[in-house]
Structure 1
Amino acid sequence: MHANIYIPEEFLKNIEEIMPSHLDMASFISACQKPLRKSIRVNTLKISVTDFLKRAEAKGWELEPVPWCNTGFWITADESEIPLGNTAEHMSGLFYIQEASSMMPVSALFQNNEKYQAVLDTAAAPGSKTTQIASLMNNEGVLVANEYAASRVKVLHANIERCGVRNAALSNFDGRVFGGWLPEQFDAVLLDAPCSGEGTIRKDADAMKNWSHQSVLDIAETQKDLIESAFHALKPNGVLVYSTCTLSTEENQQVCHHLKETFGDAVEFETLDTLFENAQAATTEEGFLHIFPQVYDCEGFFVARIRKLASVTPPKVKKRMGKFPFSKAPSKIQDEVSSLLLEALDVTLPSDSQVWLRDKDVWLFPAALEPMIGEFRFSRMGIKIAETHKKGYRWQHQVATTLATGNESNIIKLCIEDAREWFMGRDVRPESIPGKGEVLVEFDGAIIGLGKWVGNRIKNGLPRELVKDKNLF
């Protein structure tokens, strides 16, 4: 498929200089010319791995475990008629299509099954690592997901919504701002840094078209700024994972050593040689993972795990914060929202969340976000759960996808034909006795949305950005 990929001669010379002695250039070039194996990650916010494996077997999907992620699998599936992205399992958020290498940074962040209360994902879109972090946090605490490119924030939000993430706060800034604006606020930080993308040629034959050694040096300077900012945002004893999908030492080892040179004994490199079986085959002397594509038959990748051993003086910034448009709901309203939601949909509000109000909208924020409110400007926080109207509350889609467990009493189960109609944004007429009010909608064991009875039909409440138009399961 990629036999004619473009690989600059200067790049090959650089690779030959840095490649470990037990590897050879012929196998490197051969690996670069092979297409990537498709891989997915099970979203345990929605389904257990055991239950997903049963579904996969029933569909004839062949799965091979990814060694560094216990929810990741390489997949072989017939996509001639229905792409994986248009299956019911994907659309209801049961799995995420994610390159196997990109699962590694989050696994490194949670290497020892750590529990974090506040996590920062510095460059989050499209959301593969954000949703992976949220699943390992079990939707608890707060996850700040930042994306510099405004055009990609919408995609990020759609993915966290599909996957049932409710503890996220989204922002749209250059990642270099966090060290000054939110110093020592996070227990863990993931910096999956923008890079030259040398490791991605297996999925993009033109990835190296604009490559030059000078561009590598230029982007490395940005990476050094980003890693300093991430380190400042980290609490003492916190963990920073730095990763790229590139191979050059300038963008990888040298960036990490720059951090060590800047902050000295406050920086400790923690080895990743036991992260998974045979990890030592790609581990550097510092304990970093420097992965050439032929080693594990995946993308080229780099991962470093760094511990902050002491406080360092953060940069000073002048904050200009506009008026915060939300107000925390009084306990009376919090209790009212909680009791009415339970009455209407048999859904319980999580104890680690708080109700906030903005005009007629009712939002649920993670309680762990509160220390950052007023210190930083977020583009979206938590989930919108209701709109107020004269007769009470009109519940919103994310109540179904992030709060419902599937054990509620007010659930309508759809057949496959009605489920297709639902995902295409159309109302459905299930073969059940018509009811009243709002109702949770389920297909094949997964809650897929929220509707409202209007006569003998259920009015579709699927957000426009999640509507599909063809080739559905």
Structure 2
Amino acid sequence: MHSNVYLPDEFLHEMSAILPAHLSMADFIESCQQPLRKSIRVNTLKMSVDQFKRLANSKGWQLTQIPWCETGFWIDADESEVPLGNTAEHMCGVFYIQEASSMLPVTALFPNQETPFLSVLDMAAAPGSKTTQIAAMMDNGGVLVANEFSSSRVKVLHANIERCGVRNCALSNFDARVFGGWLPEQFDAILLDAPCSGEGTVRKDADAMKNWSKASTLAIAETQKDLIESAFHALKPGGYLVYSTCTLSVEENQQVCHHLKETFGENIEFDSLGSLFPDAEKALTEEGFLHVFPQIYDSEGFFVARLKKTGSVAAPEVKKRLGKFPFSKASKRQVQDIEAQLQQQLHISLPNDCQIWLRDDDVWLFPNALEPMLGELRFSRMGIKIAQTHKKGYRWQHQVATTLATGDEPCCVELCIEDAREWYMGRDIRPDNQSGKGEVFVTFNNQVIGLGKWVGNRIKNGLPRELVRDKNLF
């Protein structure tokens, strides 16, 4: 019980005015004072849900299905010795610790369309929970542009993308208001999980409302209106836009969506989420949005709306100064050489929906669907870096292991638990009675966790620094 949760009187007055008739303020306050149930999402880029269920059973983890996410579960696990975030399964990206309500927007973004989305934009992506969920829904196909305004959070975003085996992503670091003018009508689907006042997060952070004010809420809503207009312009006609927040006020939620409808009229439609999952009607608004108060599903407070763009509108004109694009597409001969050596040394074949691009001595793998955007926007990182060239060939990189390897390659070395701990702490390892030559995938519990290189009877550690952990490991 978090009885010390701070709920300003003015905020409670605002909530009492908008709370649906079938809900009570007493239940709302009581729910806000209850800690959240822990929830996780299975990363199907690494493991199927059925495989994860068997894994959880072997570890004594109790799973309860989250109704709006086929890969999401509330989890009851003994964390007295090792927190879930320090388990081997979490560190190699098999699952992501994610609040249950936070899984709703991505579920809403993917209606049962006949053709998969080839281009998706996540406008406010860090720390990466929804980005990695989108990538899994896309099965690493097409291109996913993940934007984050805060430079300091881009590193966290990239680390999570890397950990989860995402290879179809391009990262950018902009105020998301630029997308409507810079990439007009470029995306099949867009998620705008907008920056907000965070009124729904008090169950996670008892002090979340310490600086709350009505004036601040209204100011944030103006920024949200700018962002949703930008999203509209960046969306292709016929595409879907999901707008979501972890706040509860109508000013930051319903009114932002109505602003878009009022601005673009018949070119935007509200798409009802009433059939998204069983019992969705308990949180349904008259417009078809989901306004999730914490007591409805015993979760964080959240808001989700799905909108469809039905017509084209001229985007704002912008002047671009991008400079020379620093990458060049690999020649046919270079591609053949890279593919041959990758197959010979690591038994890896490159996916058909990607292309090899070069920058100085670096070899990159870009999604084909990214190419129309190259030269239109400056990305901070695109696709995955697979190699560095040197005089004797190629030095393969960590993301070859996390995004392309399956663990069935003959150059895999299965580690014992002690060696796996050493690996995650960034140290070289000496597997018992083994030695070899060249680069090798290291695995633990049959999951690929990295790429190393034999030096006699020692495997030199190739784990990127941002993924190194220093204590309390499985």
Q: Would the TM-score normalized by the shorter structure come out above 0.5? A: yes
One-letter amino acid of the counterpart of residue 465, structure 2: R
Question: 2: CA distance between counterparts of 1:144 and 1:419?
Answer: 33
* Residues in 1 aligned to 2:50 and 2:23: alpha-carbon distance in whole angstroms: 37
In structure 1, the residue matched to 2:326 is 325
Match in the other structure for 1:260:
261
Residue in structure 1 matched with residue 29 of structure 2 by the alignment: 29
Question: What is the TM-score with the length of structure 2 in the denominator?
Answer: 0.99
**Structure 2: which amino acid aligns with 1:7?**
L
Q: Which residue of 2 aligns with 1:458?
A: 459
Secondary structure of the equivalent of 1:280?
A: helix
Whole-angstrom CA distance in 2 between matches of 1:19 and 1:324: 52
Q: Which residue pairs with 1:127 in the alignment?
A: 128
Q: What SS does the aligned partner of 1:238 have?
A: strand
Match of 1:415 in 2: 416
Match of 1:168 in 2: 169
- AA of the residue aligned to 2:14: N
Q: Which residue of 2 aligns with 1:82?
A: 82
**Large movers: runs of 4+ above 6 Å:** none
Distance of aligned partners of 1:367 and 1:432 in 2 relative to their CA distance in 1, 3 Å threshold: farther
1:60-71 alignment runs, 5 A limit:
60-71=60-71
Residues 30-64 of structure 1: CA deviation (Å, up to 9, x unaligned): 00000001100000000001111111111111111
Corresponding residue of 1:251: 252
User: Is the partner of 1:28 in helix, strand or coil?
Assistant: helix
Which deviates further from its counterpart, 426-435 or 265-274? 426-435
Partner of 1:2: 2
Count residues with an aligned counterpart: 473
**Match of 1:105?**
105
Residue identity in the other structure for 2:293: F
Q: Name the SS for the 2:80 alignment partner.
A: coil
Report the residue type matching 1:286 in the other structure: E
Partner of 1:70: helix, strand, or coil? coil
One-letter code aligned to 1:216: T
Seq. identity, %: 73
Measure, in 2, the Cα distance between the counterparts of 1:309 and 1:406. Answer: 45
Map 1:296-311 onto structure 2 (within 5 A). 296-311=297-312
Task: Give the Cα separation in 2 of the matches to 1:2 and 1:455.
Answer: 55
Match in the other structure for 2:184: 183
Tell me the residue number matched to 2:370.
369
Specify the code of the residue in structure 1 equivalent to 2:135.
Answer: A
> 1:2: Cα distance to partner?
1.3
Residue segments in structure 1 that go unaligned for 5+ positions in a row: none
Please show how residues 282-431 of structure 1 align to structure 2 within 5 Å.
282-431=283-432
User: Which digits, 9 at most, give the CA deviation of each residue in 1:205-250, with x for residues without a partner?
Assistant: 1111111111111000000000000000000000000000000000
User: Displacement, 1:112?
Assistant: 1.7
Moved more, 178-187 or 402-411: 402-411
Match of 1:141 in 2: 142
2:323, 2:63 → 1: CA distance? Answer: 50
**Which residue is equivalent to 1:445?**
446
Distance in 1, Cα, partners of 2:184 & 2:208: 36
Q: CA deviation at 1:445?
A: 1.2
Give, in whole Å, the separation in 2 of the partners of 1:99 and 1:120.
21
Q: CA offset at residue 432 of structure 1? A: 4.7
- Cα distance in 2 for residues equivalent to 1:53 and 1:425: 30
Identify unmatched segments of 5+ residues in structure 2. none
SS in 2 for 1:251: coil
The aligned residue for residue 152 of structure 2 is 151
> Which amino acid in structure 1 is aligned with residue 25 of structure 2?
M
What is the alpha-carbon distance in structure 2 between the residues aligned to residue 322 and residue 205 of structure 1? 47
1:18 maps onto 2:13 in alignment: no
Displacement after TM superposition at 1:253 (Å): 0.4
In the TM superposition, what is the alpha-carbon distance from 1:81 to its structure 2 partner?
1.0
- Structure 1: distance between partners of 2:451 and 2:442: 6
**Aligned alpha-carbon RMSD (Å):** 0.8
The alpha-carbon deviation at position 80 of structure 1 amounts to 1.0
Whole-angstrom distance in 1 between the partners of 2:336 and 2:9: 66
Give the Cα separation in 1 of the matches to 2:4 and 2:471. Answer: 33
Map Cα deviations across residues 64-94 of structure 1 (whole Å, 9 max, x no partner).
1111000000111111111111100000100
